[in-house]
Amino acid sequence: MTSTITHWADGAGYDGTSHLWADVTNPATGDVSGRVALASDRDARFVIDSAKQASESWAATSLARRTQILFAFRELLNSRKDELATLITAEHGKVHSDALGEVSRGQEVVEFACGIAHLLKGAQSGNASTGVDVHSRRDPLGVVGIISPFNFPAMVPMWFFPIAIAAGNTVVLKPSEKDPSAALWIANLWKDAGLPDGVFNVLQGDKVAVDALLQSPDVAAISFVGSTPIAEYVYEEASRHGKRVQALGGAKNHMVVLPDADLDLAADAAVNAGYGSAGERCMAISVLVAVEPIADDLVARIAERTRTLRTGDGTGDVDMGPLVTKAHRDRVAGFVDSGEQAGAKLVIDGREVQAEGGRDGFWLGPTLFDHVTPEMDIYREEIFGPVLSVVRVSSYDEAVALINDNQYGNGTAVFTNDGGAARRFENDVQVGMIGVNVPIPVPVAYYSFGGWKRSLFGDTHAHGAEGVHFFTRAKVVTSRWINPAARPAGGLELGFPQNV
């Protein structure tokens, strides 16, 4: 049986009027499991309007009430997260434990946003000038649009909407059309938590829906996460329409292993971070930079571990699931062909995998390349699949130069037992998120997530203090209240006010 995945507006499902639908597939079987509505311009206006109508009263809702609803949402999410993880596995393909991990990392942001009353406190200065006080406050923006990628259908939207809503904004979420059900499930959960209708909305669709959000005069800000070409487009188009925008793009994350590192720790980390979620993570390690003379030893340890991995249906007891669509699976397999043709040494070939799942699933097993060089496509392009490339270098400086020459700057890691080398690495690399003996350094919710260079367009990162900043704007109020006992006050003075 296939499900129908609609938009969500005014606190209810909305079919839209476009009569356009896209198939949603189960990547472990290849079967069509549902159809998702694709918005027309008119449908987008209807959903944005729902957010606009709710905007004024939600912004005027007390901090106490907003916080209570966030707490209720957190409690419901915590008790029902298994259901959400099951939905994610069915449409994305990642294994259930990984889907649960994604929900938990999103939940951290909800927990952070429960402290909104503290986070929104302004400053106050009494008697800044004689009889004059100054205070600052941060107000919501209005309607904000969130456009998310397929690879984290729950966590990435949760980087943004808990803070946006807690700060008094209303939200239109445009999820990926590849795995759109999580967004609807979340919309229902908000309703159960007591969120007023219209505060959280879902707009399903493709470029038409995205463009409607970017161009609508009723949308004040856009948070986008996806591939770099689309991030760049979204940044330019939303800016051109006068919006505040943060657009997080693609990545090519390097993990440097120095000769003094613990090679077992490094090999475990490379396998976990290279193949977890089938490499469909923006913080996945796709390049391992081995600083000689350890490369032979390290590659042998990684290969040994990789050969033990089981690929299959994420509902079962396996390590790695399928890729999200057949087209994406074929694109990644094309990179394996290209690496082989370019002369990289194919140590493990994922094209030959015997998967524990449906015959027509989108399978590609863990793939390991050695002797990869920076001119090869498999080094230059973001593959976004279970392909780990080993580049051998002879010095620390060569490793850092590779990272800094790369167009992306999302995440990177160094493995070493030398504190001085790790500190130097932290200073030297032009990357937004750095791990020291930690391969996937995704910051906790109370810090901010974001890359440098072509991994982020805009200047504000997601969640943490920067997230609160992004979803609010400042007012500074300078006030004088007359003390009747101290009259006369005021008087004529046409010069520029000075503080005395």
**Between residues 58 and 457, which has the closer beta carbon with respect to ligand NAD?**
457
Contact call for residue 206 and ligand NAD (CB under 6 A): yes
Span interacting with ligand NAD, options 12-20, 102-110, 150-158, 491-499, rule CB under 6 A: 150-158
Contact call for residue 440 and ligand NAD (CB under 6 A): no
Structure tokens at 309: 């991995």
Closest CA to 280 of 382, 403, 409: 382
Span interacting with ligand NAD, options 116-124, 194-202, 223-231, 356-364, rule CB under 6 A: 223-231
| DSSP category for residue 458 | S
CA distance 165 to 67: 10
CB of 248 to ligand NAD, least distance (A): 4
Structure tokens at 290: 């081995």
- Residue that has been written with the tokens 């800016």 in this structure: 239
CA distance 266 to 268: 6
Residue 358 near residue 28 (C-beta atoms within 8 A): yes
**Burial state string for 64-91 with b = 16 or more CB within 10 A and e = fewer than 16:** eebbebbebbbebbeeebeebbebbbbb
CA atoms within 13 A on the CB side of 245: 25
Closest CA to 110 of 195, 201, 203: 195
CA distance 233 to 220: 17
CA quadruple 479, 484, 486, 490: dihedral sign:
positive
Q: Which of 9, 182, 248, 431 binds ligand NAD (CB under 6 A)?
A: 248
CB of 158 to ligand NAD, least distance (A): 12
Closest CA to 277 of 369, 182, 364, 379: 364
114 catalytic residue (yes or no): no
CA distance 202 to 168: 17
Span interacting with ligand NAD, options 112-120, 160-168, 245-253, 420-428, rule CB under 6 A: 245-253
Contact call for residue 226 and ligand NAD (CB under 6 A): yes
Q: Which of 87, 110, 156, 202 binds ligand NAD (CB under 6 A)?
A: 156
Q: Which of 42, 207, 307, 423 binds ligand NAD (CB under 6 A)?
A: 207
CA distance 345 to 355: 23
Structure tokens at 352: 């030959």
Closest CA to 255 of 415, 441, 375, 32: 415
User: Would you give the end-to-end CA distance of the chain in angstroms?
Assistant: 75
With vertex at residue 269, the alpha carbon angle to CA 362 and CA 178, rounded to the nearest 5 degrees, is 30
| 3-class secondary-structure state, position 323 | coil
**Between residues 148 and 416, which has the closer beta carbon with respect to ligand NAD?**
148
Q: Which of 455, 467, 468, 472 binds ligand NAD (CB under 6 A)?
A: 455
Q: Which of 84, 282, 372, 433 binds ligand NAD (CB under 6 A)?
A: 282
Please give the residues from 366 up to 395 whose contact with ligand NAD meets the rule CB under 6 A: 382, 384
Which is the catalytic residue, given 282, 324, 348, 400? 282
Bridge partner list, 458:
none
**Between residues 207 and 345, which has the closer beta carbon with respect to ligand NAD?**
207
**Which residue type sits at 215?**
Q
Q: Which of 410, 416, 460, 472 binds ligand NAD (CB under 6 A)?
A: 410
Contact call for residue 210 and ligand NAD (CB under 6 A): yes
**Between residues 133 and 206, which has the closer beta carbon with respect to ligand NAD?**
206
CA distance 169 to 223: 13
Size of residue set near ligand NAD by CB under 6 A: 27
**Between residues 145 and 168, which has the closer beta carbon with respect to ligand NAD?**
145
Q: Which of 177, 179, 313, 319 binds ligand NAD (CB under 6 A)?
A: 177
142: left (phi over 0), alpha (psi -120 to 50) or beta: left
Span interacting with ligand NAD, options 32-40, 144-152, 292-300, 361-369, rule CB under 6 A: 144-152
Span interacting with ligand NAD, options 7-15, 30-38, 148-156, 399-407, rule CB under 6 A: 148-156
Contact call for residue 249 and ligand NAD (CB under 6 A): yes
CB of 72 to ligand NAD, least distance (A): 28
Residue 150 near residue 281 (C-beta atoms within 8 A): no
Please give the residues from 250 up to 269 whose contact with ligand NAD meets the rule CB under 6 A: 250-251
CB of 176 to ligand NAD, least distance (A): 4
Q: Which of 61, 129, 227, 338 binds ligand NAD (CB under 6 A)?
A: 227
Contact call for residue 451 and ligand NAD (CB under 6 A): yes
Of all residues in the shown chain, the one whose CB is closest to ligand NAD is 226
**Between residues 174 and 305, which has the closer beta carbon with respect to ligand NAD?**
174
CB of 324 to ligand NAD, least distance (A): 8
Taking CA atoms, 218 is separated from 141, 222, 383, 470, in Å, by 11, 12, 36, 17
Span interacting with ligand NAD, options 71-79, 192-200, 242-250, 260-268, rule CB under 6 A: 242-250
Residue 393 near residue 374 (C-beta atoms within 8 A): no
Name the residues that contact ligand NAD, by CB under 6 A: 147-152, 156, 174, 176-177, 206-207, 210, 225-227, 230, 248-251, 282, 382, 384, 410, 451, 455
Residues annotated as catalytic (active site), given as ranges: 282
